[in-house]
A and B are shown apart, each in its own frame.
Chain A
Amino acid sequence: MNNNALHHDEEKLVKEFLKTHTHEPRPNVWFTKRTINKLPEHRSSSCKIIMCITTFLSVVACGILLYLLPNDIITLEENNITRSLLSIYTAMAGMIILVALQVIRLIKTYF
Chain B
Amino acid sequence: MLFDDRRAFATLVEQHQPTIRRFFLHQTMGDEMLSDDLAQETFIKLYYSIKQFKGLANFSTYLYRIAYNVFQDHLRRNRFTDTTDVIPECATSTHNDTHIDITRALQQLTPTERAAITLYYIDDRKVEEVASILQLPTGTIKSHLSRARNKLADFLKNNGYE
Question: Are A18 and B32 interface neighbours, CB within 8 A?
Answer: no
What is the CB-to-nearest-CB distance from A13 to chain B, in angstroms, rounded to a whole number?
6
A75: Cβ under 8 A from any B Cβ: no
- B residues contacting A by CB (< 8 A) are 4, 6, 9-10, 13-14, 17-18, 21-22, 25-26, 30, 32, 35-36, 39-40, 43-44, 47, 95, 98-99, 101-102, 105, 117, 121-122, 149-150, 152-153, 156-157, 161-162
Once the chains are docked, how many angstroms separate the CA of A39 from the CA of B43? 9
Q: Which residues in A have their C-beta under 8 angstroms from that of B161?
A: 13, 17
Chain B, residue nearest A9 (CB): B153
Q: A13-B156, A13-B162, A15-B121 are in contact. Are A25 and B25 (CB under 8 A)?
A: yes
Per-position contact with B for A5-48: 1 when CB-CB < 8 Å, else 0? 00000110111011101111110100111111011001010000
Chain A, residue nearest B5 (CB): A42
Q: A14-B121, A26-B32 are in contact. Are A21 and B98 (CB under 8 A)?
A: yes
Once the chains are docked, how many angstroms separate the CA of A13 from the CA of B30? 21
Q: Which residues in A have their C-beta under 8 angstroms from that of B95?
A: 23
Q: Which residues in B have their C-beta under 8 angstroms from that of A31?
A: 13, 17, 21, 36, 39-40
What is the CB-to-nearest-CB distance from B52 to chain A, in angstroms, rounded to a whole number?
14
Question: Are B25 and A23 interface neighbours, CB within 8 A?
Answer: yes
Question: Are A10 and B6 interface neighbours, CB within 8 A?
Answer: no
Question: Are B47 and A39 interface neighbours, CB within 8 A?
Answer: yes
Q: Which residues in B have their C-beta under 8 angstroms from that of A23?
A: 22, 25-26, 30, 95, 99, 102
Question: Are A24 and B22 interface neighbours, CB within 8 A?
Answer: yes
Once the chains are docked, how many angstroms separate the CA of A42 from the CA of B4? 7
Once the chains are docked, how many angstroms separate the CA of A26 from the CA of B99? 13
Question: Are A19 and B153 interface neighbours, CB within 8 A?
Answer: no
Question: Are A21 and B149 interface neighbours, CB within 8 A?
Answer: no
Interface residues of A in 88-102 (CB under 8 A from B): none
Question: Are A18 and B43 interface neighbours, CB within 8 A?
Answer: no
Q: Which residues in B have their C-beta under 8 angstroms from that of A36?
A: 6, 9-10, 13
Once the chains are docked, how many angstroms separate the CA of A15 from the CA of B117? 10
What is the CB-to-nearest-CB distance from B106 to chain A, in angstroms, rounded to a whole number?
9
Question: Are B156 and A14 interface neighbours, CB within 8 A?
Answer: yes
Q: A25-B25, A25-B35, A32-B14 are in contact. Are A10 and B30 (CB under 8 A)?
A: no
Q: Which residues in A have their C-beta under 8 angstroms from that of B4?
A: 42, 44
Once the chains are docked, how many angstroms separate the CA of A38 from the CA of B40? 9
Question: Are A10 and B150 interface neighbours, CB within 8 A?
Answer: yes
Task: Return the contact of A39 from the options B9, B26, B39, B99 (Cβ within 8 A).
Answer: B9
Once the chains are docked, how many angstroms separate the CA of A17 from the CA of B160? 12
